Structure 1
Amino acid sequence: MSLCKDCVQGVRHEGEPQGTLETIDGVACYVATPTADYPKDKVILYLPDAFGIELINAKLLADDFAINGFKVVAVDYLNGDGLPADIMNVGFDRFLCVPSSDPVSTQSPSFDLKAWLAKHGNEQTRPSLDKVIAALKEEGVTKFGATGYCFGGRYTFDLAFENAIQCSVVSHPSLLKVPDDLETYFTKSQAPLLINSCEVDQMFPAAAQAKADEIFGDGKFAPGYKREYFPGCTHGFAVRGDVNDPLIKAGKEGSFKAAVEFFLEHL
């Protein structure tokens, strides 16, 4: 299991979160609820990137979905151990802990990303997600959408394989095996799929994007398939992109708009 440099770098966004931190069957969650009436039998699971639900960017996105009429539950499947936001601007060599002769290296923080990944595999993370889903079902939720970013794209696919969700949106997904996971999704899942892709993405590059279109496109996937493409954007744009860059701002806003429209149509 590995991540690319754009999985762990980005820009912290500004805003005042409107949701609440709640504990659902022992699992910390950020819950964003519409202020107007909304369907109580539907929930969007927000599956965060490696920075987890504590990153303000994640909370603001969850709030935006709630503004559009969906109750959102952002699940802390990283168990309180997401990457700290203050290392987003650290050089990637610091994450890999590569020895450096750079004189500033002793002044710069380092982070053992490989060790972190080893502690956040499926065995450690998936149980928290399953607990939240089971608890929400007991509260009367019967339809789940999932929006997964980077690290969360893996979990969106896994839930779709089991048909535990009824609609899938992934933005610059990581940790997928291509074409295996795409073929498994096509064979096993009944959840409509939206992929928000971009120009520069080591984790889901142009070849993977083309393979997804080949497998799902032209009406071949009966539940529904759509792929959006945002030029000038890099992996992470939908959640950690620099909105001062016009192309990245357009990509962030466009991918969110596409997600909302997809959920409105299919969930």
Structure 2
Amino acid sequence: MAQANYVLPFIFGRLSFFLLLSIFLSLPLGHVAEEAGTLSRHCLENPPTLNSSYGAGSVKEIGGLKAYVTGHSHSKRAILLVSDVYGYEAPHLRKIADKVAQSGFYAVVPDFFYGDPFVVNSSTTKEAWLNTHGTDKGFEDAKPVIAALRETGILAVGAAGFCWGGNVVTKLAKTDLIKAAVLLHPSWITLDDIKAVKIPITILAGELDNGTPPKLLEQFESSLSEHKVTNFIKIYPKVKHGWTLRYNDTDATAVKAAEEAHNDMLQWLIKYV
């Protein structure tokens, strides 16, 4: 009897393990990352040196948020650029906004973090920071910004999001608030998210980005095409998560890859916004 009392729990324990494992493996790719809502080391590599005065534009309040704005204020088309966790004072992001503005758009980069971007090696943990600055809140904060732009005479709004911002823009793409969306190495995107997208969308992904592996991107493309949503998905070779924003200016290969993605983003916005 003593041996039976030992063997039975052992057997049931192994059965429970394999049952849990089978459930885990049956989940759609990206599901676990979405639920965990954590920042991987790739999300945080090569942090920018923030500069509040960088760029050709200026900072003003739009829809209750401070925002870096650049371009002609009388433009009828606006592009919302949603940052990664390092926020709206990142020089590379403002440089992209200036480039968007040069194509005739009014470019807007809101401070979705209320002056509190993620800081590496700070006393605040990644999890605690995300609890305060979740993408659901970013989505809700984007609504009054878009409404305020429309009140100024803007007729069409597009949006591009990077990493954290890619998740926010995906949420916007499920609505009629924007005309077109661009996701650049987005984080925590699931197949269910993509199934709900309603507008033209492009996803620009890195070959070495584990957050959006090729198999998951194939599912995204299949779903978008099945639902007759105009889409374009591109995988850039030999680059990893964050390459469009946190590249090294002295690395010619990295700069070239980033600029290629910026141009692809811009062409999509010109075509559909």
Q: Same fold (TM over 0.5)?
A: yes
Decide which of 86, 89, 97 is 1:54's aligned counterpart. 89
C-alpha separation between the residues in 2 aligned to 1:198 and 1:208? 13
Residue-by-residue CA offset, 1:32-88 (whole Å, 9 max, x unaligned): 114xxx87221000011111102122111111111222110111112221124xx3x
Decide which of 212, 229, 254 is 1:204's aligned counterpart. 212
Q: What is the deviation of 1:176? A: 1.2
In structure 2, the residue corresponding to 1:196 is in which secondary structure? strand
What are the ranges of 5 or more consecutive residues in structure 2 without an aligned counterpart?
1-36
Letter in 1 for 2:216: A
Tell me, yes or no, if structure 1 residue 20 matches structure 2 residue 33: no
Tell me, yes or no, if structure 1 residue 214 matches structure 2 residue 222: yes
Decide which of 106, 110, 119 is 1:71's aligned counterpart. 106
Instruction: Report the identity percentage.
Output: 26
Letter in 2 for 1:70: F
Decide which of 60, 63, 80 is 2:115's aligned counterpart. 80
- TM-score (structure 1 length as normaliser): 0.81
Letter in 2 for 1:83: F
Q: What is the deviation of 1:127? A: 3.6
C-alpha separation between the residues in 2 aligned to 1:42 and 1:119? 31
Runs of 4+ with deviation above 4 angstroms = 13-16
Q: Which residue of 1 aligns with 2:138?
A: 125
C-alpha separation between the residues in 2 aligned to 1:13 and 1:229? 28
Q: Which residue of 2 aligns with 1:184?
A: 196
Q: Which residue of 2 aligns with 1:138?
A: 151
- TM-score (structure 2 length as normaliser): 0.79
C-alpha separation between the residues in 1 aligned to 2:215 and 2:188? 15
User: Given that residues 161 and 184 in structure 1 are in contact (C-alpha distance below 8 angstroms), is that contact kept between their aligned partners in structure 2?
Assistant: yes
Q: What is the deviation of 1:122? A: 4.4
In structure 2, the residue corresponding to 1:128 is in which secondary structure? helix
C-alpha separation between the residues in 1 aligned to 2:202 and 2:246? 19
C-alpha separation between the residues in 2 aligned to 1:52 and 1:41? 26
User: Given that residues 192 and 224 in structure 1 are in contact (C-alpha distance below 8 angstroms), is that contact kept between their aligned partners in structure 2?
Assistant: yes
TM-aligned CA distance change 1:110 to 1:207, over 3 Å: farther
TM-aligned CA distance change 1:123 to 1:170, over 3 Å: closer
C-alpha separation between the residues in 2 aligned to 1:14 and 1:132? 23
Q: Which residue of 2 aligns with 1:100?
A: none
Q: How many aligned residue pairs are there? A: 235
Residue-by-residue CA offset, 1:143-201 (whole Å, 9 max, x unaligned): 11001000011111111111211010010000212x2112222xxx1x11111111111
Larger radius of gyration: 2
| Structure number with higher helix proportion | 2
Decide which of 23, 27, 30 is 2:68's aligned counterpart. 30
Decide which of 213, 233, 239 is 1:233's aligned counterpart. 239
User: Given that residues 30 and 53 in structure 1 are in contact (C-alpha distance below 8 angstroms), is that contact kept between their aligned partners in structure 2?
Assistant: yes
User: Given that residues 79 and 125 in structure 1 are in contact (C-alpha distance below 8 angstroms), is that contact kept between their aligned partners in structure 2?
Assistant: no
Q: What is the deviation of 1:233? A: 0.5
C-alpha separation between the residues in 1 aligned to 2:253 and 2:241? 13
Residue-by-residue CA offset, 1:80-108 (whole Å, 9 max, x unaligned): 21124xx3xxxxxx5xxxxxxxxxxxxxx
C-alpha separation between the residues in 1 aligned to 2:265 and 2:176? 19
TM-aligned CA distance change 1:221 to 1:239, over 3 Å: farther
TM-aligned CA distance change 1:123 to 1:195, over 3 Å: closer
Q: Which residue of 2 aligns with 1:8?
A: 44
Residue-by-residue CA offset, 1:99-118 (whole Å, 9 max, x unaligned): xxxxxxxxxx6651111011
Which residues in structure 2 correspond to 1:83-102 (within 5 Å)?
Answer: 83-84=118-119, 87=120
Residue-by-residue CA offset, 1:124-149 (whole Å, 9 max, x unaligned): 43343222111111111121100100
